[in-house]
Structure 1
Amino acid sequence: MTDLQQRANQLEDQIKTATHTERMALQPQVDRVVATLRATGQSVPRRLERMNNELRDEAIEDMFDNMPI
């Protein structure tokens, strides 16, 4: 297991127990790990892709929740 894969596992464990605010703070790190895994030709586990997509969706939703009407 590479350092990057270990970091992905650590982030995954952190996110499982994190509050919403903590999850949003970790989202950019997850996104970078996924992008780096892809860029280096390593496989990205489906669960990590799903988690990253869910975090992105949450972040986008938060942006719109805070938008003035």
Structure 2
Amino acid sequence: MNANPILLQMKYARVVSLFAEKEGLTLDKALDFFYYSQLYQLVSRGVSDMHCVSDLYLVEHLAEEYEKGD
């Protein structure tokens, strides 16, 4: 399933903002990490409809990836 590109960009913005707040990062650093993350690859490709899950779930997934240093 393909998400509406505008809605997907809005979701990215919310997730990055919440992730930055959670990890104490600047928005620039959070955005940089997000765009090189495995999570971004999954969401942008529509794998398993990851774009349909909650923002908080994605933030937790991203935080786990950040803590692992992937």
TM-score scaled to structure 1, two decimals? 0.31
Higher relative contact order, structure no. (Cα contacts within 8 Å, ≥ 6 residues apart)? 2
Structure whose CA Rg is larger: 1
TM-score scaled to structure 2, two decimals? 0.31
